[in-house]
Amino acid sequence: MRVVPMVALLVLAFVPRAQAMWLGRLDPKQLLGPWYILAVASREKGFAEGKAMRTIEGVVVTLTPENKLKMLASRSGLDGCSLTAVELWKQSPGWVFENPSLGVLEYRVLSTNFKDYAIVFTQLEFGDETFNTVELYSRTEVASLEATSLFSKWSRNLGYLAQQQARLQEDLTCAHKVLQ
């Protein structure tokens, strides 16, 4: 019985880093442009209770001349749609980004073909809560079967429970606020 938790810890510790090293050789400019966020797995407190209300999100990724990622995202909340701008700087080595002053401890692409989808891992810290998320980015409003399958595989392999995963509702109102 004790072997299973140890295996889960090893998977959490090593899987994302191994994949990110491979992706570190790719041109990060391929991540640039508009994306729909169609699914999320999160360990954030309260995520399971609110996941049914979450709708498809939009994000536009740009790269500054200093290799900082700039992200403009839109998501729905209790007060309607909100826009958030975040700037992340590159960690060395590889294409892993952060901005601890905003609570983003790590932002990395786990898997992608850049043309259609990206599976993105983010470690966040807000107040006394540290948690991570995995998001399915898609260039289109509907994810490919390959993208959906990879998102499910990464979520499962990183130990997310079913209640910690959500396919976002097909309301594009907030996503279109940033993607148009």
Q: Which domain holds residue 43?
A: 3-179
For 114, which DSSP code? S
Note the pTM of the prediction, 2 decimals.
0.83
**Which residue type occupies 51?**
K
54, 133 contact by CB (below 8 A): no
CATH, residue 70: 2.40.128.20
User: What is the spatial distance between Cα 58 and Cα 27, in angstroms, rounded to a whole number?
Assistant: 22
- The pLDDT tens digits of the residues spanning 96-116 come to 899 999 999 999 999 888 899
Sign for the CA dihedral angle at 79, 49, 109, 12 comes to: positive
- Please give the tally of structural domains in the chain: 1
Average pLDDT value over all residues in the chain: 84
